[in-house]
């Protein structure tokens, strides 16, 4: 018997395992999670302090210093317009974080009420879910491209374009949690205690969605950062007057054969940033809501 | 356990022998689950392992099969020998060979124990494929069909090709038994195999196990929490508590002369099947009345009409009439699918009845809208089955208790003071107000749920299987509490249960339901003491341990006899 | 079973209607003159008027929608601003590279990811499990173009084993040259898909391995491989299939980036070209077609549940 059937021991479980999940870990989190947290904290600090940390103005062009190799003046070298790569990469963290956090917040703010309504009222349910199914069917990058090609690309349109396709994921999650929670006897008990609909929704149903939402929003954050980078990379994102990791790479593509660092430095930053967020999301999931495992990670 | 030793000394070599078995959790520090278990089973014998939840009885059975959940429980000491084979030292390969061929197991939940994506015939046949390599496919098929016949399934060719979801719970358990016994193992381990089944099905399954056991000379290790079942089937009984064997005795001796206080307690807590006398009628005020109540599920959908399909309408309850007066208890008794819970939910207006009336204190609430219903909600309160889910885990006990009164305008401070009184009434300390549900045991939570219902000062309490999830000793305490509260506050109780013993213990009147219809209704002493309707009779006859009066340690002197179904002119009360 | 299939198929219709409505409203409600967007920057006022006429911009908006949707149903997706060719024709020309690349990637992903997930679940908590999960998190996190350029750097530039860019169609150059050019793009495209499927397979297998019937199988004396593959994997199948379907949206994103990195003349390149030239009719056509394919793939997967699960079949 070396295959482990992970059955709960029938007699022991339940009696000893507290059913309330703890938010704060009892034991120290694993080292991967610690490293991820430190990396993410560093990136946030870099984004905030970019004007003081950057050795050059990220927009300052210097035709004499095109495509310089790394050196004392340009630590990571310079790009095709002679702009300092390091400064641009440091500033790039700002857009990524704003887009990531903004998209996560907005999609939760819009998706949570829709999901609760869909889960609670059967009539609204089919209407809301049909619209969400439709939105989910449109590939997010193409939708973003369409929006950006109709309305000129800036931080806000890009963020809106990235957020819209994420909303259905939040709605679906909240709805499924509400659908199962409303069957709980304590919700029925609240109804028979004469609690109003809003009390039932707000006090008894909504708190159930919080843990999965925290986890989901980390994944949305990671996925939004990735989508923003892809849009910039494809040339449909924010203009190069605002450096983003995506548009640095997009500009670097032409010179990939002679100077691959134009793609690799922002690529590494991007990867570390998304990886950290995903790892923290996984840790939060394991801690808060083990059932969420199935819903997969960043998409 | 000296008794056990002498037994083993006189009898032929035991089929299964367990000595000093220790199991602990994998966590650090390791928590002991089994602390030195000893027992043995002789050939052809039925040994019952009895105990309340947490006693370690299931862990013992899984340890024998080598199926302890890996990574959470480990055997740390002792011996398990199956016909002289030391199981704990056996290689995984050897252990696999012994399973099904020498020892087999059936489980509690027949609905989930079969692979849903495999025909049941194939699943039984798989045992032969793995263990008897020489058989041709026709031979295997014949063996399986023969086995299906032995477990008395009808239309075996069709059953062979069925999917699990097409069979009932009882039929699936028969499939499990067929699968377990097809290789004629020496030992059958049955872990609460009838707990999830209705009493009438339970009776058939127990009888079937007995028959097959005699036919094949199998020894049975039967795990159960139900003393009634023990009384019916055991040769010897091994009582467990907190991972230790409390006592082992032959069945007669155990039931008549338990050696330990714990066993004595367990037996005393089993409610008697003989109905208690109805209380004197002191108040004739009708607090709850159902008039021609009906609930139909599955209205003909437009889709069904479009495709010309017969509408899948089911009549969950029809023509239900009853009247409950102040201070009395009416029990609704029936098996799963009888419609008893539907009636409770209609009365509570968790669902809307399709026809008929529900009068609470004279006011018909059957078709009131949400807002109009609200003032009447407080008159009628519910206690739910699962104590682990009936309290919001995120609210303190205090917050849960005052939610209702505050909804109806009681000031918070006053409601809290009242909540503290109620906690005292249900026997919990005052400081419980600031704690969360997970800090309480199942029985305590059920007390809290009762307090929450009482906080509304209702005229009627609806208890839907309110003690079914509790251990028998806790169950006895909660029943006593309900009785006490009723006497003090004069609240009427509508008590939904599948357990005839509980009904006999607590009800003044009893209503028996079958497939949505009331078949018998009257004073408990008459309905349960001298049932007239054949269905009520069959329920009483199927009640496990019905010959025994556990709390008095002697057989019942007057028992309902199995006779040809009595005349169907059962008078319906009133 | 018939009614299940019919219901599923009918349920796909409103989804497509919502997609169409959304794409339609996107253009009409965006700030700016729809006619100008459709006609491009070079259009003369006379051209703009003609376009307003054909779009029926003077009519009430719901009539415009029915008119527009009617054109779509007749296969008329409009005309490209750049090439003046019908959008359908442009897409048809670019279909083969994309489809062949996507199929290759899906096969590669499933073949790699499913065994990965099964083994990780089987050896739950072990080194192998941790390795699989780490690879999977990496696959999610490293942007697809970074992976693409890494692959090019290592296998095409440094080692020189495979071509840096370009594409050969099977229909023209045969299978050998196709695979030589397709292998790096397919690897790039598969990474995130492999991560997704492996993760889901593992989670779903872990769930199933905790089920009662798996314990029954053990109690019967079944060997581990038998339990894993004969009992568990099939039961874990539905969520795995589901993620293959919903993950298709990821693949579309991946195709756009991959074709751009490897300079492959498929639908993805068409998308990038359309972005750069702001060729809205083409973008609109691509959205409608990919959404349609997404809906169809998910419909096919829904229908395949009926083959997998008798409980659905006998509904």
Q: Is C28 part of the contact surface with chain B (CB cutoff 8 Å)? A: no
pLDDT by residue (tens digit) across B43-78?
Answer: 999 999 999 888 889 999 999 999 888 878 889 989
Distance between CA B461 and CA B348 in Å, rounded? 10
Question: What would the pLDDT profile of A154-185 be if each residue is shown by its tens digit?
Answer: 888 888 888 988 899 999 999 998 988 888 89
Which chains have 3+ CB pairs within 8 A of C? Answer: A, B
Q: CB contact, 8 Å: A122 with chain B?
A: no
- Closest CB from B55, B56, B456 relative to A193: B456
Inter-chain touch C125–B100, beta carbons under 8 Å = no
Look at residue B301 in the predicted model and tell me its pLDDT. 53
* Domain count within chain C: 2
Assign 3-state DSSP to chain A and report helix, strand, coil percentages, each to 5.
Answer: 70, 0, 30
Question: What would the mean pLDDT of B333-355 be, rounded to a whole number?
Answer: 90
Same domain, C147 and C204: yes
Gap from B12 CA to chain A (nearest CA, Å): 31
In a domain, B274, yes or no: no
Q: Which of A24-38, B286-300, B483-497 is predicted with the least confidence, judged by mean pLDDT?
A: A24-38
Select the residue from C80, C125, C137 to test the A interface by mutation, using most A Cβ atoms within 10 A.
C137
Binding-face residues of C in 124-163 toward A, CB within 8 A = 124, 136-138, 140-146, 149, 152-153, 157
User: B503-512: per-residue pLDDT in tens?
Assistant: 999 999 999 9
A126–C contact, CB cutoff 8 A: no
Q: Closest Cα partner for A92 from C271, C143, C250?
A: C143
Which burial class, exposed, middle or buried, applies to B216 when counting CB atoms under 10 A from its CB (0-12, 13-18, 19+)? Answer: middle
Query: B547 Cβ partners below 8 Å, 6+ apart?
Result: B231, B555, B556, B559
Q: pLDDT at position C306, please?
A: 82
Q: What is the mean pLDDT of residues C222-232?
A: 90
Confidence of residue B380 (pLDDT cuts 50, 70, 90): very high
Which band of pLDDT confidence, cut at 50, 70 and 90, is reported for residue A11? very low
Residues of A in contact with C207 (CB under 8 A): 294
Contacts of A134 (CB under 8 A, 6+ apart): C14, C15, C16, C17, C18, C19, C21, C22
Dihedral (Cα; C147, C152, C158, C162), 10-degree rounding: 130
**Range(s) of the domain holding residue B237:** 12-269
- The verdict on residue C83 lying in a domain is no
CATH number at residue B93: 3.40.50.300
Range name among A14-28, B174-188, B360-374, C27-41 with the lowest pLDDT average: A14-28
pLDDT in tens, C115-156: 999 999 988 888 888 889 888 888 888 888 888 888 888 888
Q: How confident is the model at residue A289 (pLDDT cuts 50, 70, 90)?
A: low
Instruction: Supply the pLDDT for residue B468.
Output: 87
* Together in a domain, C165 and C25: no
Please provide residue B463's backbone torsions phi and psi, each rounded to the nearest 5 degrees. Answer: -110, 105
Domain identity same for C157 and C281: yes
User: Which chains have at least 3 CB atom pairs separated by less than 8 Å from chain B?
Assistant: A, C
Q: Which of C152, C153, C218 sits opposite A5 (nearest CB)?
A: C218
**Domain residue limits at C67:** 2-73
Check C253 against A149: CB less than 8 A apart. no
**Per-residue pLDDT at B303:** 52
Domain boundary among C15, C42, C73: C73
Domain annotation covers residue B368: no
Is the CB of B161 inside 8 Å of chain C's CB atoms?
A: no
Comparing CB atoms, the residue among C125, C219, C310 nearest residue B117 is C310
- Region of B69 (left: φ > 0; alpha: ψ -120 to 50; beta: rest) is beta
Query: Is the CB of C275 less than 8 angstroms away from the CB of A235?
Result: yes
Kindly report, residue by residue over A132-159, the tens digit of the pLDDT. 988 888 887 888 888 877 777 788 888 8
Same domain, C191 and C284: yes
Q: A206 to chain B: nearest residue by CA?
A: B394
Do C105 and C193 fall within a single domain? Answer: yes
Shared domain for C58 and C120, answered yes or no, is: no
| Burial letters B542-567, b for 16+ CB under 10 A, else e | bbbbbebbbeeeeebeeebeeeeeee
Question: What's the CA gap between B107 and C160, in Å, rounded?
Answer: 61
**Cis status of the peptide bond prior to A246, with omega within 30 of 0:** no
B456 chain-A contacts, CB cut-off 8 A: 193-194
State whether residue A123 sits within 8 Å of chain B by CB: no
Chain A contact for B388, CB < 8 A?
yes
> ipTM of the predicted structure?
0.83
- The pLDDT score that the predictor gives to residue B299 is 57
For A259, the closest chain C residue by CA position comes to C153
Q: How far is CA C168 from CA C93, C144, C149, C180, C189, in A?
A: 14, 22, 20, 9, 17
Q: Which residues of B touch C314 (CB under 8 A)?
A: 163, 165-166
From C206, C283, C291, residue closest to A149, measured CB to CB: C283
Q: Are residues C49 and C143 in the same domain?
A: no
CATH code for the domain in which residue C123 is found: 1.10.3720.10
How sure is the predictor about A120, in pLDDT bands with cuts at 50, 70 and 90?
confident
Quickly state the pLDDT bin for B450 (edges 50, 70, 90): very high
pLDDT value, residue A299 = 32
Contact A189 B384 (CB under 8 A): yes
C-facing residues of B in 116-135 (CB < 8 A) are 116-118, 126-127, 130-131
What integer best gives the mean pLDDT of chain A?
Answer: 79
SS3 state at C193: helix
Q: What integer is the mean pLDDT of A208-224? A: 89
- B:69-98 residues touching chain A, CB 8 A cutoff: 69-73, 92, 95-96
pLDDT at A12 > cutoff 50? no
Query: Residue B141: pLDDT above 90?
Result: yes
C107 falls within a domain: yes
DSSP assignment string, B428-454: --GGGGGS-GGGS-HHHHHHHHHHHHH
Chain B residue nearest residue C238, CA to CA: B117
Question: Is B548 within a domain?
Answer: no
Tell me the residue ranges of DSSP E strands in B42-186.
Answer: 46-50, 73-82, 85-86, 103-106
- Report if residue C80 sits inside a domain: no
Q: Which residues contact B68 (CB under 8 A, 6 or more apart)?
A: A9, B23, B59, B62, B74, B75
* pLDDT given at position B307: 53
What is the model's pLDDT at position A296? 39
Subunit contact C219:B65, Cβ cutoff 8 A: yes
Distance, CA of A275 to CA of A36 (rounded, Å): 8
What's CA B117's distance to the chain center, in Å?
28
Q: Is residue B201 part of a domain?
A: yes
Confidence of residue B562 (pLDDT cuts 50, 70, 90): low
Domain count, chain B: 1
Task: Compute the mean pLDDT over every residue in chain C, rounded to the nearest whole number.
Answer: 85
Same domain for C100 and C67? no
- Predicted confidence at residue C113, as pLDDT, reads 93
Looking at the DSSP bridge assignments, the partners of residue B50 are B224, B239
Chain C neighbors of B110, CB-CB under 8 A: none
> Counting runs of H as helices and runs of E as strands, what totals does chain C give?
17, 0
b or e along C6-31 (b: 16 or more beta carbons within 10 Å of the residue's beta carbon)? eebeeebebbbebbbebbbebbeebe
Q: Between A20, A190, A193, which is nearest B436 by CB?
A: A20
**Residue-level length of chain B:** 574
What DSSP element (H or E) covers B527?
A: helix B524-527
Does residue C146 sit within a domain?
yes
In a shared domain, residues C177 and C302: yes
* C277 and C307 fall within a common domain: yes
The whole-angstrom separation of Cα A223 and Cα C141 is 9
Do both C117 and C60 map to the same domain? no
Q: What is the number of H-type helices and E-type strands within chain A?
A: 11, 0
Asked if residue C139 belongs to a domain, the reply is yes
Give A232→chain C minimum CA distance, Å. 11
pLDDT(A22) > 50: no
Chain length of chain A = 299
The answer as to whether C114 is a domain residue is yes
Q: Report the 10 Å Cβ neighbour count for B146.
A: 12
Given this model, what pLDDT does residue B363 score? 87
Report for B295-304, C9-18, C104-113: range of highest mean pLDDT: C104-113
Q: Are residues C44 and C146 in the same domain?
A: no
Report how far residue B174's alpha carbon sits from residue B212's, in angstroms, rounded to the nearest whole number.
11
Coil/strand/helix, residue A15? coil
**What per-residue confidence (pLDDT) applies to B305?**
53
Give alpha helix (H) positions in C223-279: 224-225, 233-235, 237-246, 248-262, 267-276
Percent of chain C residues past pLDDT 90, beyond the cut: 13
Give domain status of residue B152, yes or no.
Answer: yes
């Amino acid at each position: 018997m070396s295959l482990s059937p992970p059955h709960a021991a029938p007699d022991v479980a339940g009696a000893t395992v507290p059913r309330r999940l703890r938010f704060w870990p009892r034991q120290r989190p694993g080292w991967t999670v610690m490293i991820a947290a430190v990396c993410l904290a560093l990136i946030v600090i870099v984004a905030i302090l970019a004007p003081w940390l950057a050795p050059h103005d990220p927009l300052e062009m210097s035709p004499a210093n095109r495509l310089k190799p790394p050196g004392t003046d340009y630590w990571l070298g310079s790009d095709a317009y002679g702009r300092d790569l390091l400064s641009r990469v440091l500033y790039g963290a700002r857009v990524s974080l704003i887009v990531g956090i903004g998209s996560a917040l907005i999609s939760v703010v819009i998706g949570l009420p829709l999901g609760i309504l869909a889960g609670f009222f059967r009539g609204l349910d089919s209407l809301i879910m049909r619209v969400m199914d439709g939105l989910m069917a449109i590939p997010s990058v193409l939708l973003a491209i369409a929006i950006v090609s109709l309305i000129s690309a800036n931080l806000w349109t890009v963020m809106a374009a990235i957020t819209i396709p994420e909303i259905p994921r939040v709605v679906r999650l909240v709805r499924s949690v509400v659908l199962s929670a409303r069957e709980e006897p304590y919700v029925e008990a609240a109804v028979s205690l004469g609690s109003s609909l809003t009390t039932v929704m707000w006090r008894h149903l909504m708190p159930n969605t919080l843990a999965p939402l925290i986890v989901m929003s980390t994944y949305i954050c990671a996925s939004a950062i990735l989508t923003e980078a892809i849009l910039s990379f494809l040339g449909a994102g924010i203009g190069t007057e605002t450096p983003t990791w995506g548009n640095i790479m997009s500009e670097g593509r032409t010179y990939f054969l002679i100077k691959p660092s134009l793609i690799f430095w922002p690529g590494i930053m991007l990867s570390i940033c998304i990886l950290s967020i995903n790892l923290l999301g996984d840790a939060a999931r394991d801690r808060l809501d083990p059932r969420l495992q199935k819903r997969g990670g960043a998409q | 356990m000296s008794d056990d030793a002498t037994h083993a000394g006189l009898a032929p070599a035991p089929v299964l022998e367990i000595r000093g078995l220790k199991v602990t959790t994998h966590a650090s520090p390791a928590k002991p689950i089994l602390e030195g278990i000893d027992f043995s089973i002789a050939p052809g014998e039925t040994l019952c392992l009895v105990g309340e939840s947490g006693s370690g009885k299931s862990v013992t059975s899984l340890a024998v099969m080598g199926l302890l959940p890996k990574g959470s429980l480990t055997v740390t000491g002792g011996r398990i020998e199956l016909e002289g084979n030391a199981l704990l030292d056996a290689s995984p390969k050897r252990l696999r060979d012994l399973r099904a061929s020498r020892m087999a197991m059936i489980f509690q939940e027949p609905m989930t124990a079969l692979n849903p994506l495999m025909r049941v015939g194939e699943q039984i046949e798989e045992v032969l494929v793995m263990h008897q390599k020489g058989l041709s496919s026709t031979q295997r098929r014949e063996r399986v069909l023969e086995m299906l016949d032995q477990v008395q399934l009808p239309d075996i060719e069709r059953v062979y090709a069925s999917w699990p979801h097409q069979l009932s719970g009882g039929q699936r358990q028969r499939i499990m038994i067929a699968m377990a016994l097809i290789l004629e193992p020496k030992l059958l381990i049955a872990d609460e195999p009838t707990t999830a089944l209705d009493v009438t099905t339970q009776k058939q399954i127990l009888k079937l196990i007995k028959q097959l056991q005699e036919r094949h000379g199998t020894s049975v290790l039967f795990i159960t929490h139900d003393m009634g079942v023990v009384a019916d089937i055991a040769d010897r009984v091994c009582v467990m508590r907190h991972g230790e064997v409390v006592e082992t005795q032959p069945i007669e001796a155990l039931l008549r002369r338990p050696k330990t206080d714990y066993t004595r307690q367990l037996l005393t807590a089993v409610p008697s099947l003989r109905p208690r006398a109805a209380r004197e009628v002191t108040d004739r005020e009708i607090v709850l009345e159902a008039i021609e109540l009906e609930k139909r599920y599955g209205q003909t959908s437009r889709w069904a009409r479009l495709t010309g399909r017969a509408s899948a309408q089911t009549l969950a309850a029809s023509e239900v009439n009853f009247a409950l007066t102040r201070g009395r208890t009416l029990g609704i008794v029936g098996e799963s699918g009888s419609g008893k819970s539907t009636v409770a939910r209609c009365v509570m207006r968790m669902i809307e009845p399709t026809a008929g009336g529900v009068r609470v204190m004279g006011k018909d609430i059957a078709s009131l809208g949400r807002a109009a219903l609200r003032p009447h909600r407080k008159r009628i309160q519910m206690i739910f089955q699962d104590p682990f889910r009936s309290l919001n885990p995120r609210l303190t006990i205090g917050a849960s208790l005052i939610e209702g009164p505050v909804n109806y305008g009681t000031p918070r401070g006053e409601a809290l003071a009242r909540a503290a009184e109620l906690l005292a009434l249900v026997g919990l300390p005052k400081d419980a107000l600031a704690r969360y549900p997970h800090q309480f045991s199942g029985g305590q939570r059920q007390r809290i749920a009762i307090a929450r219902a009482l906080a509304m000062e209702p005229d009627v309490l609806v208890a839907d299987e309110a003690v079914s999830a509790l251990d028998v000793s806790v169950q006895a305490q909660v029943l006593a509490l309900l009785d006490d509260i009723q006497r003090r506050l004069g609240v009427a109780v509508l008590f939904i249960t599948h357990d005839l013993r509980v009904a006999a213990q607590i009800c003044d009147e009893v209503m028996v339901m079958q497939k949505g219809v009331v078949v018998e209704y009257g004073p408990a002493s008459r309905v349960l003491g001298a049932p007239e309707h054949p269905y009520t009779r069959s329920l009483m006859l199927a009640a496990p341990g019905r010959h025994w009066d556990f709390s008095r340690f002697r057989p019942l002197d007057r028992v309902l006899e199995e006779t040809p179904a009595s005349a169907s002119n059962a008078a319906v009360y009133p | 079973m018939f009614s299940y299939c019919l219901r599923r198929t009918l349920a796909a219709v409103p989804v497509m209607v919502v997609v169409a409505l959304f794409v339609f409203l996107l253009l009409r409600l965006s700030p700016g003159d729809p006619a100008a967007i459709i006609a491009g920057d070079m259009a003369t006022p006379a051209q703009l008027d003609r376009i307003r006429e054909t779009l029926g911009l003077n009519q009430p908006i719901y009539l415009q929608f029915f008119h527009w949707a009617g054109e779509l149903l007749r296969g008329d997706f409009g005309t490209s601003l750049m090439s003046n060719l019908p959008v359908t024709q442009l897409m048809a020309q670019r279909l083969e590279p994309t489809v062949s690349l996507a199929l290759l990637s899906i096969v590669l992903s499933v073949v790699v990811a499913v065994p990965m997930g099964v083994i990780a679940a089987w050896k739950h908590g072990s080194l192998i499990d941790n390795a699989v999960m780490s690879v999977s998190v990496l696959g999610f996190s490293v942007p697809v173009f970074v992976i693409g350029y890494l692959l090019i750097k290592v296998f095409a530039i440094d080692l020189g084993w495979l071509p840096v860019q370009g594409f050969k169609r099977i229909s023209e150059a045969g299978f050998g040259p196709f695979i030589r050019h397709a292998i790096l793009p397919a690897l790039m495209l598969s990474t995130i898909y492999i991560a997704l499927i492996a993760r889901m397979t593992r989670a779903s297998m872990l769930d199933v391995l905790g089920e009662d019937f798996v314990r029954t199988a053990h109690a019967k004396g079944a060997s581990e491989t038998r339990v894993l593959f004969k009992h568990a994997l099939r039961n874990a199948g539905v969520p795995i299939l589901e993620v293959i379907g919903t993950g298709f949206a990821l693949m579309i994103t991946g195709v756009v980036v991959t074709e751009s990195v490897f300079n492959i003349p498929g639908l993805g390149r068409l998308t990038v070209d359309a972005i750069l030239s702001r060729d809205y009719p083409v973008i609109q056509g691509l959205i409608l077609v990919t959404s349609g394919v997404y809906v169809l793939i998910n419909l096919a997967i829904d229908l395949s549940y009926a083959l997998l699960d008798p409980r659905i079949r006998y509904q």
